[in-house]
Structure 1
Amino acid sequence: MTTAINSAPEAFAYRSSKVSVPVLGVGHTVGDKIGEGDTYLVENVLPPDLAEVGFENLMKEVAWNVMRHRGGEVPRLVAVQGEIDANVNYPIYRHPADESPPLRAFSATVSAIRAHVEHTLQHPVNHVLIQLYRTGADYISEHSDKTIDVVRGSRIVNLSLGSRRTMTLRTKKDAAATTTGSEQGANGEGNSRDGGGDGGAPVQRTTQRIPLPHNSLFVMGLATNSRWMHSVHTDKRPENTKDPAERGPRISLTFRHIGTFLTPSPSPAGQEQEQEQQEQQLIFGQGATGKTRAEARPVVRGGEEAERLLAAFGAENHESEFDWEKVYGEGFDVLHFAATTPASV
């Protein structure tokens, strides 16, 4: 049975604390800046009663989906929740996946967590991607978050419940190429080498590793997202060799402030099936071609526009000086990149 939760942050007499996170690895020292300096970790962001039951409650409340990318299953389960307003407008976060998982309204536990996240951030979040790392073998590959739909100037946050995993940040190749060796050494950061690509000298890429314990909030600024990639690597060590805090599954909740929305379109008479209704959705807002509700246009599925948006995602993944206005400014109305329906589990 799900435990009832008071969602008001002010009701709890405790203090969360921003901490200087030790960046692990040769040459690293406590107190080094994380990423571009706009990124930090908050521990004990949830009060003890919510932190204690949050993982178990989410396992019961969340409708997990298998997500596919280029036809293959990603190595974790996912779910999407968000704020649905009185006009049934709801936020959409687009990223490379064959089909966007269905968005459901915030559940009771997620609503409670959201209140504390907003209290910490001091700006709203209206969308969450929830991911279940079932074992240490589940992971997420190196990437930068796609910001076409993320409100500019906001932060992207990741709340961890369950086992401790490590977030790895690594500078993009072009960002590394503009950083001198003396600057890298002064920051006390570890370096990895990648081929120069054109027969030149290997590029040194700076790497930082940040442990994400239970009940911690990783707050990432958009400057870090622009110049660094992030990942959670697989951990295939036997369970009995791990620290107790590293054992078992992990749930991550990535909250974002989204400025692009879906809204229902009046359906033709008799058209009541869920798939048909989905095809009648309209899209508007920051990342769409129609910027207001009055300018909302029908969602596009696949095709040439999907190829163009995927190419834009690739550019954002690799360019540290990504020109948002040039690439995303006019907007895209595509939602699904392949006609594949996600399987519920």
Structure 2
Amino acid sequence: MFDLFDDIPKPDIVWLPDWLDPPTASDTLAALIDEITWQQDSMTTPAGKIPFPRLTAWQGDPDAVYVYSGIRNVPKPWTPTVLLLKTKAEDAAQTSFNSVLINRYRTGMDSMGWHADKERELGPQPVIASVSLGTTRTFDFRHTKTRQTHTLQLTHGSLLIMQGRTQLEWAHRVPKEPEARGERINLTFRYVDSSAPLKRP
């Protein structure tokens, strides 16, 4: 029988809302807050430079240099808790990662705007494993052609794997949510090809 919903586009994702049990997720969150060296980057806008609405960190293998939003990220060494999460995420995604972008959303006013992770050094169809810890936040997908949207609630201890043509065909964001209480840390594990030409900031 024909399904009216067959033609509605969906991102190529794997969604594991209970990837970590609550006690493990809470212990992991506390460890990350303590062991990671956080930084406050800035971005250039028509009004001048403004700070990112979140704190960030970049860890990985020594050659996993990554440029996004005009920032050249040279990886800091893997910290113990991040390395444990990397190994577990590799098992779930059935692929290898050599780097991770870590975002710390301090309140519901911290956010990330619409974008796609499609830099050349990530390859044509990157696999990105996104681990969420802390306060539940909305995660929106938007199809680049149809403008169709797909929304998830990224819960404490969840894993979202984005793969296939997701980065080519969909943008994503974490919108501001003033009503959200508490912190959220998100780790997006990826593989950076050090032989690919880097974009210049």
Q: Do both proteins adopt the same fold according to a TM-score greater than 0.5, normalized to the shorter chain?
A: yes
The match for 2:61 is 83
* Residue 111 of structure 1: how far off its partner (Å): 0.6
Q: Where do 5+ consecutive residues of structure 1 fail to align?
A: 1-28, 85-89, 177-204, 238-245, 261-284, 289-331, 338-345
1-side partners of 2:117 and 2:39: how far apart?
Answer: 20
The C-alpha deviation readout for 1:21-79, integer Å capped at 9, x for no partner, is: xxxxxxxx9xx98733x212112323565323111101111110111111221100000
Please name the residue that 2:134 is paired with.
162
How much does 1:137 deviate? Answer: 0.3
2:131·2:186 contact (CA, 8 Å) conserved in 1? yes
Rounded to whole Å, the distance in 1 between the matches of 2:130 and 2:66 is: 15
Give the alignment of 1:10-159 within 5 angstroms: 35-36=10-11, 38-46=12-20, 50-70=24-44, 71-84=49-62, 90-97=63-70, 99-159=71-131
Which ranges of 4 or more aligned residues in structure 1 deviate by more than 4 Å?
none
Q: 1:213 aligns with which of 139, 155, 161?
A: 155
Partner of 1:270: none
Q: What secondary structure is seen at the aligned counterpart in 2 of 1:209?
A: strand
Contact 1:35 1:228 in 2 (8 A): no
* Equivalences for residues 157-236 of structure 1 within 5 A: 157-172=129-144, 175-176=145-146, 205-236=147-178
Q: Is the 8 A contact 1:162 1:251 kept in 2?
A: yes
Q: 1:33 and 1:63, CA in 2 relative to 1: closer, same or farther beyond 3 A?
A: farther
Whichever residue aligns with residue 110 of structure 2, its letter is D
- Is this contact kept in 1: 2:134–2:184, CA < 8 A? yes
Cα distance change, pair 33–105 in 1 and its aligned pair in 2 (3 A): farther
Distance 1:40 1:130 in 2: 20
Report the identity percentage: 30
CA contact (8 A) 2:64 2:74 kept: no
For 1:34 and 1:117, the matched residues in 2 are separated by 26
Cα shift at 1:129 = 0.4
Aligned to 1:248: 182
Structure (1/2) with the larger helix percentage: 1
SS in 1 for 2:32: helix
CA distance in 2, matches of 1:125, 1:33: 31
User: RMSD across aligned C-alpha pairs, in angstroms?
Assistant: 2.2
Cα distance, 1:138 vs. partner?
A: 0.4
SS of 2:19's equivalent?
coil
Structure with the higher strand share, 1 or 2: 2
TM-score normalised to the size of structure 2? 0.87
Structure 2 CA distance for partners of 1:79 and 1:155, relative to 1, 3 Å = same
- Is contact 1:156-1:222 (8 Å) kept? no
Deviation of the 1:224 alpha carbon: 1.7
Please tell me whether the aligned partners of residues 67 and 101 of structure 1 are also in contact (alpha carbons under 8 angstroms).
no
Residues 129 and 34 (structure 1), Cα distance of their counterparts in 2 relative to 1, 3 Å cut: farther
Partner SS state of residue 160, structure 1: strand
CA distance in 2, matches of 1:216, 1:130: 15
Aligned partners of 1:53 and 1:33: how far apart in 2? 39
Higher RCO by CA contacts (8 Å cutoff, separation 6 or greater): 2
CA distance in 2 between counterparts of 1:250 and 1:171 reads 25
Instruction: State the match for 1:181 in structure 2.
Output: none
CA distance in 2, matches of 1:33, 1:123: 28
The aligned counterpart of 1:10 is: none
Residue of structure 2 in register with 1:265 after alignment: none
Tell me the matched-pair count. Answer: 193
Matched AA of 1:221: Q
